[in-house]
Amino acid sequence: MEDQELIQQLQQGNLEAFDQAYKKYAPTMLTIAYTFMRDKDDAADVVQDCFATLLNKPQLWKSIRDIRWYLMRMVQNQCLGVIRKRDLQQQKDEVFQYYNKSASEDISLPDPYNNVNPQEKENKVVSWLGSLSPQRKRAMELVYQQELSYQEAALKMGISKQSVKTHLRYAKQILKSKMTIIAIAVTSILVFG
């Protein structure tokens, strides 16, 4: 079946045409997805997601003029979206681990503080988080504990994505300054007795 006839059949909701389109274009789409994802299973997931989207949203077929080009573009965009999401999650994890480690272990603090009971350290971190404004605390919880994207957190909080980033930046600065104050206090105790 030629592409134009295939598109017409797809626009009419013909599931056999959908199967033919899948059989005809899936191998090419898998190759494209693999060049981005570098993993066969991830590439297969991307291609299946693209075809599932087309199956669940038949109105998309009405805008398709060149099915091969459209599918190639769709797979490429899906791959880039997955990669961006992974990168964002990795960045969040790194930031969270850094601040979690800094807040609970703080390697730069003097020895007496490092010898403090881990439960006391955790209590201190919890109290520091409690001292944040409600918006900043909520932003930290949504992004770092619930692992939502900035956009998802913004929607839940009813603010812009940039506002979420600003709340997080200020929250991190506050937590860092509190850790610095504790370090100075412990150092002065050591030096001046």
- Give just the sign of the alpha carbon dihedral 50, 54, 56, 59: positive
Enumerate the domain spans of the chain.
3-83, 105-192
Instruction: State the pLDDT at residue 184.
Output: 53
Instruction: State the pLDDT at residue 112.
Output: 44
> Which residue type is seen at 89?
Q
Lowest mean pLDDT among 26-40, 97-111, 112-126, 161-175: 97-111
Is domain 105-192 given the CATH code 3.60.9.10 in the classification?
no
Is domain 3-83 given the CATH code 1.10.1740.10 in the classification?
yes
Task: Please check the confidence at residue 77 and state whether its pLDDT lies above 90.
Answer: yes
Instruction: State the pLDDT at residue 125.
Output: 64
Lowest mean pLDDT among 27-31, 80-84, 177-181, 184-188: 184-188
29/45 Cα distance (integer angstroms): 11
Lowest mean pLDDT among 22-26, 40-44, 91-95, 123-127: 123-127
Instruction: State the pLDDT at residue 193.
Output: 47
% residues pLDDT > 70 (the chain): 73
Instruction: State the pLDDT at residue 26.
Output: 92
89/50 Cα distance (integer angstroms): 22
In degrees, rounded to 5, the angle at the alpha carbon of residue 25 between the alpha carbons of residues 23 and 30 is 105
Average pLDDT value for the chain: 77
- Asked if residues 78 and 52 have their Cβ atoms less than 8 Å apart, the reply is no
Task: Indicate the pLDDT class of residue 110, thresholds 50, 70 and 90.
Answer: very low
Quick one: residue 80, left, alpha or beta (phi over 0 = left, psi -120 to 50 = alpha)?
alpha
